[in-house]
């Protein structure tokens, strides 16, 4: 399972793997412009493959006010 | 995915430009986009002393870092808005950045002046974000005039500006549309030039720059901005951008390019915002700031709320 943590809210979920970052965002109903994805301190492009046992962080980028 | 420039492993892909970059090439790309905005909109020159307004968030700290990297003389200004907990944490990020880089940062505390934003909003019964905007505009300009700065720079990015444009169009805010541009020229000795050098960079690019350059910014959202309409506009634009890359950029830059064609609104306001014109501005009889009205928006807010700055 891929562990996915939202760095802003601290919320963590697990998803089936393997899959690409693009597939992960689709599954979570997130658009690419709203979030960055990191693994082991590295930013990932949308074609990066996520393996089972990977731990990834989602970093929301939209701020308001 | 490989870096389009050097062929190394890419860390960010930018659909709007059909490209992807490794860390180092992305930093070059960001610097190039900011240099282009500064030149294209004639924001400032090497001789100008710049005051960068830093909130502690990704955009303003990235902007400060970029301008320093490009060799501009710029100092920081942080407004501590007096929002319980959040303001202390934001302030720390700005202070730590300034300490690490060894740059000058002025901090103005709304709490110490007796006008914290939540209290002002409550007492005046105005929306928090509107009160916050009034307070920021007032103190950014005031601090720039006091410090002898020619230019005030803010970290507004492409998403901020495209969302603002969408909101102004949805509600046909002509006056705001006529004033929306990446550079607001100075008005005599009343208002300093205001610029938005990140206007060609998306919010995602700005966040990626902050992460890749090791900038420690405040990730949490302002508690006052929950449910803000600007976030909804950004979301709507991101959905369009996802299926039609480049939409935000063409929406915003197309508007700026065609702005003079909105002739009536332009001419009505031209005198007021034209270079060094003075126009229909006058001085507020309470605080001496430039304003269309007397008292100015800031003084009206503090008078209404019964909280005058100490």
Q: Specify the CATH number for the domain of residue B173.
A: 3.40.50.620
Count of CB pairs separated by less than 8 Å, A with B? 84
pLDDT digits (tens, 9 = 90+) for B41-52: 999 999 999 999
Binary contact (B132, A32; C-beta < 8 A): no
Phi, psi of A59 (to 5 degrees): -115, 105
The helix or strand, by DSSP H or E, that contains position A49, with its residue range, turns out to be: strand A49-50
- For residues A30 and B282, which has the higher predicted lDDT (pLDDT)? A30
Binary contact (B212, A43; C-beta < 8 A): yes
| Residue B235 tokens, joined | 């979301």
Is residue B52 within 8 A of residue B74, CB to CB? The reply is: yes
Q: Write the CB contacts of B221 (distance below 8 Å, at least 6 apart in sequence).
A: A8, A63, A64
Q: Write the CB contacts of B125 (distance below 8 Å, at least 6 apart in sequence).
A: none
- A26, B188, B191, B197, B250 from B265: Cα distances, Å: 42, 22, 21, 25, 22
Binary contact (B203, A63; C-beta < 8 A): yes
Q: B148: burial class by Cβ within 10 Å (0-12, 13-18, 19+)?
A: exposed
Q: What was the pLDDT predicted at B292?
A: 80
To which CATH superfamily is domain A2-60 assigned? Beta-grasp domain (3.10.20.30)
Confidence of residue B277 (pLDDT cuts 50, 70, 90): very low
Q: Which residues of chain A have pLDDT under 50?
A: none
Token match 């960079």: residue?
B201
| Helix/strand/coil percent split, chain A, to 5 | 15, 40, 45
Q: Is residue A32 within 8 angstroms of chain B, CB to CB?
A: yes
The helix or strand, by DSSP H or E, that contains position A5, with its residue range, turns out to be: strand A2-6
Cα separation of B87 and B136, whole Å?
A: 14
Q: What was the pLDDT predicted at B54?
A: 98
B92-106, B190-204, B272-286 — which is least confidently predicted? B272-286
Interface test with B, best of A9, A33, A43 (most B CBs within 10 A): A33
Confidence of residue B278 (pLDDT cuts 50, 70, 90): very low
Of the candidates B207, B224, B242, the beta carbon closest to that of A61 is on B207
Q: What was the pLDDT predicted at B275?
A: 46
Interface test with A, best of B10, B24, B55, B204 (most A CBs within 10 A): B204
Total number of domains in chain B:
1
Cα separation of B183 and B148, whole Å?
A: 19
Binary contact (A61, B204; C-beta < 8 A): yes
Task: Look at residues B58, B206, B199 and name the one whose alpha carbon lies nearest to residue A8.
Answer: B58
Of the candidates A42, A48, A62, the beta carbon closest to that of B203 is on A62
Domain membership of residue B272 (yes or no) is: yes
Is residue B181 within 8 A of residue B259, CB to CB? The reply is: yes
Is residue B251 within 8 A of residue B170, CB to CB? The reply is: no
Q: What was the pLDDT predicted at B225?
A: 86
ipTM over 0.95: yes
Binary contact (A32, B211; C-beta < 8 A): no
Distance of CA A4 to the CA centre of its chain: 6
Is residue A17 within 8 A of residue A55, CB to CB? The reply is: no
Domain membership of residue B201 (yes or no) is: yes
pLDDT digits (tens, 9 = 90+) for B13-57: 999 999 999 999 999 999 999 999 999 999 999 999 999 999 999
Domain membership of residue B17 (yes or no) is: no
Of the candidates A7, A38, A65, the beta carbon closest to that of B219 is on A7
Contacts of B238 in chain A (CB under 8 A): 31, 33-34, 62
Binary contact (B159, A62; C-beta < 8 A): yes
């Amino acid at each position: 399972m891929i562990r996915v943590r939202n760095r802003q809210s601290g919320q963590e979920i697990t998803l089936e793997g393997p899959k690409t970052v693009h597939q992960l965002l689709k599954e979570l109903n997130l658009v690419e412009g709203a979030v960055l994805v990191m693994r082991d301190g590295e930013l990932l492009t949308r074609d990066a493959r996520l393996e089972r046992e990977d731990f990834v962080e989602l970093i929301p980028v939209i701020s308001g006010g | 995915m490989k870096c389009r420039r050097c062929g190394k492993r890419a860390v960010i892909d930018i659909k709007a430009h059909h490209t992807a970059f490794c860390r180092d090439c992305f930093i070059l790309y960001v610097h190039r986009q900011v240099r282009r905005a500064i030149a294209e909109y004639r924001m400032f020159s090497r001789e100008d002393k710049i005051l960068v307004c830093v909130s502690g968030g990704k955009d303003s700290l990235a902007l400060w870092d970029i301008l320093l990297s490009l060799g501009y003389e710029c100092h920081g200004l942080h407004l501590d808005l007096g929002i319980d907990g959040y303001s202390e944490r934001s302030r720390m990020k700005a202070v730590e950045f300034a300490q690490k880089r060894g740059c000058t940062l002025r901090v103005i505390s709304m709490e110490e002046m007796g006008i914290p934003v939540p209290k002002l909003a409550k007492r005046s019964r105005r929306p928090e974000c509107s009160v916050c905007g009034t307070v920021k505009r007032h103190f950014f300009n005031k601090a720039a005039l006091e410090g002898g700065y020619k230019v005030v720079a803010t970290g507004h990015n492409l998403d901020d500006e495209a969302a603002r444009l969408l909101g102004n169009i949805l509600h046909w805010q002509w006056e705001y549309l006529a004033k929306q541009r990446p550079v607001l020229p100075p008005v005599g000795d009343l208002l300093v030039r205001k610029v938005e050098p990140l206007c060609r960079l998306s919010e995602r690019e700005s966040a990626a720059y902050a992460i890749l350059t090791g900038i420690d910014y405040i990730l949490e959202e302002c508690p006052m901005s929950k449910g803000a309409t600007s976030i909804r506009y950004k979301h709507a634009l991101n959905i369009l951008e996802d299926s039609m890359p480049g939409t935000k950029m063409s929406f915003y830059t197309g508007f700026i390019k065609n702005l003079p064609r909105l002739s009536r609104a332009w001419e009505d306001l031209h005198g007021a915002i034209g270079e060094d014109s003075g126009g229909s501005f006058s001085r507020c009889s309470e605080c001496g700031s430039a304003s269309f009205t007397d008292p100015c928006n800031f003084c009206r807010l503090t008078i209404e709320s019964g909280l005058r700055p100490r």
